[in-house]
Structure 1
């Protein structure tokens, strides 16, 4: 039956509204990041960390518009499977393939990456360094990975015409593209800067530095949970797509299932982290649960559209132990990441990619990447009987992301370190970035008690003079 232009217009309108609404949900995650970060740091650094979250959004907007989208999705004669379109093909939206709503949705993902990295280097980083790495990460490093995996011409893409290992890497909403990229970048930033002053004592034993406001951490977690319903289900960028040879299926079936798998993975990881940490430290901790929930979300983000709900529970179960294990390892190595961003986004992101290679279901893979077309055969999860092609592509994605981000962000952070624009001075760190860099504290009671908070800073400055 021929589809009328009116029906086509209505379909396009509904798809656009759905994609824009999903973009708004993903953008709400910036508020979640801000609250999570603010609550996880000490009060004397709250103003600084909130400012850096705003900077990630505004700087990321400009760099992604000028450069990032062209690298990730730009089309043209110079486009290739490794770096997208030419560096000089800027201002690439809209074009014949993509529209403004698609750009907005992808922009919301791009600025999330910088937010992840900011958490790893919190409480000891100069503001100038945030401006530099945020621009570079969202304008170049992240978009190249997005092109590899999400562009139809990307060499790792599961939608390309030349599928790696006959499969391509399935990273539906970005366990690797977003979270592993942000986690590896944070790893290098935190490693090169070194631990915060006082994080480890003279004998190398960890000293607890709890954030100042658990309420903000919980609020941030729920805002991120809410935003993840745009992050994962929204990655079906068209909700109305006619599947051939079917009357009762379409992208809307995958959208609902994706929301369910996301919820189950996060919830499972949260409860496992709650009891796991209870066994290790001897008491219940709401903050550990929050990180566990987020770790489950990060892990399921790769395979959320292609696995059964029961498999999402398996994903969340192991994500919790990945997070717990990496946190223990970080302490042993004297690695200091105030928000556990490297362990959470990097570790759980890598696990999510491997999980997809183990548990992806063939029917759902065809739904998500071939619009449910009959007669199509694709590799799927090893444990589901689908061969090794998909798992091989997933492992390749983990390795190339780790290598690419290390080769780009590692030298950048090292250069900033050598130029003395990465880490703040010790006396400023002791006093807090709010007073030393921003001229005032985030809370009124701190201003009223400024001499008590400011004493160490004044004393050190006096001694130096």
Structure 2
């Protein structure tokens, strides 16, 4: 009789002078080993569930950020779309999305198992229900990014259509490519099949989540066109400021809090030693380091944006700083687990510069995105993918991706250019895939006149025309309330804000 710890009654019997004592000791060791395994599994399950709860709390952050960034007359609309992103995403990710993303064994393009969670849990794939919940929260995060791009001018039916397709098909296919055990760009497949011999290192989704949501939102906003009044007849930008900076700040802090589940939680487990069992260094240390790199990237991006915008516009702007902070988080998401804290500071500084530059270009080309989703999640997400290929550290890659060859790592860390090449391919394929799928959807909706609301509805506000009233109820009659009372300024010429 032998246990996993190597207990042998054959060896113990002569030493103890009793076969019964030897059997008893080995049985106890077997039992204790099983209990330890169960405890480790439970600890990891709780860790993943708690991380999923944190990521889900980001939906509240998205809702508050979006609500504060739009005008008061569209608050009810944007809040409802955020609620439905979570609700619609739950159904479609349950029915199709999880299977397309993680239905292994499958082919390199798309998964083919676990539709409606059949055959779950599957312990051969290490998939349990907590893993589904965690991945669902990521899927609806991508949908939340897109909703901000097309805010204040989109028909409600279009929100339902894009959210269903994005969470049920478009996003899951990209997740399968780079995160599954079968995907053509994944770092988890056998070494012989790795893209350029390296695979793509997108730990928590600068590309898989943020770039996907941004490109989808771009096509919606581009096909719809800018909001009425966003640019004058000469094409010069006219600010349409959000109505509540307090909600913007609240949403930003909620997203910051949730990002500690988004990035560190992507380890999926925490009770894992690096090296010999009993070592004081393990995955728990990597989780802590990832939380630190996330914090530093966001903080340095916020400060860089603060002073950069002060130089450009002449004042301190809290909304710009909040967006800069989120841009830093977006950029570090891809490489948060495999870079040093000092590199995360570089990531944040460059992310802020990228965001400011993208905003200038968006204004120049008359592109209107109320939440700066393309600039923030697209621009900073792309920089995050490149950043990882430049600064990924060999030792950390070996810890996080132990089955992957250690021959390729960050270009600036001496690891050659193969990882950078793989990441350029990731950027190009994500942009192409989402453009073909989501771009086609928005184009069809536009041709069917199901995409943009009428000019009259847009001027009056979607809360009044589509949702039966305003988010803010006052004691006096809303029907006679003027535009200026919501906007904090004079009515536009020839416009009276009435129902």
User: Which bracket does the TM-score occupy, shorter chain normalised?
Assistant: over 0.9
**Match for residue 360 of structure 1 among 392, 417, 426:** 392
Q: Which residues in structure 2 correspond to 1:18-57 (within 5 Å)?
A: 18-57=47-86
Distance 2:363 2:357 in 1: 10
- How many residues are treated as equivalent by the alignment? 454
How far has the Cα of 1:250 moved from its partner? Answer: 1.7
Match of 1:256 in 2: 288
**Which residue is equivalent to 1:395?**
424
In structure 1, the residue matched to 2:442 is 413
**TM-score normalized by structure 1?**
0.94
The residue number in structure 1 matching 2:117 is 91
Structure ID, larger Rg: 2
Q: Displacement of 1:392 after TM fit? A: 1.1
Q: Deviation of residue 446 (structure 1)?
A: 8.5
Alpha carbons 2:197, 2:418 under 8 Å: kept? yes
Contact 2:397–2:406 (CA<8 Å) still a contact in 1? no
Contact 2:109 2:184 in 1 (8 A): yes
1:277 aligns with 2:277: no
Shift of 1:422: 0.5
Identify the residue that residue 235 of structure 2 maps to in structure 1.
204
Mapping of residues 70-219 of structure 1, within 5 Å: 70-76=99-105, 79-85=106-112, 89-92=115-118, 93-96=120-123, 97=125, 98-161=127-190, 162-219=193-250
Per-residue deviation, 1:85: 1.3
In structure 1, what is the equivalent of residue 455 of structure 2?
A: 426
Distance in 2 separating the partners of 1:447 and 1:346: 43
TM-score by length of 2: 0.88
C-alpha displacement of 1:358? 0.2
What does the per-residue CA deviation read over 1:250-298, in whole Å, with 9 as the maximum and x for residues that have no partner? Answer: 2111100000000000000000001101111110000000000000000
How far 1:449 sits from its partner (Å)? 4.2
Asked whether the equivalents of residues 440 and 447 of structure 1 are also in contact (C-alpha less than 8 Å), the reply is no
Q: Is the 8 A contact 2:389 2:410 kept in 1?
A: yes
From 224, 243, 263, give the equivalent of 2:255: 224
1:452 aligned onto 2:486 = no
Please, which runs of 5 or more residues in structure 2 have no aligned partner? 6-31, 485-490
| Structure-2 separation of matches of 1:75 and 1:309 | 35
User: Once superposed, what is the RMSD of the aligned Cα atoms?
Assistant: 1.9
Equivalent in the alignment of 2:409 = 380
Checking the alignment, whether the CA contact within 8 Å between 2:139 and 2:209 is kept in structure 1 is yes
Q: 1:297 aligns with which of 312, 317, 329?
A: 329
What is the Cα deviation at residue 377 of structure 1? 2.1
1:59-112: CA deviation from partner (whole Å, max 9, x where unpaired): 000000000000000135xx21111216x9553443232100000000000011
Q: Which structure 1 segments of 5+ residues have no match? A: none
> In the alignment, which residue of structure 1 is the partner of 2:95?
66
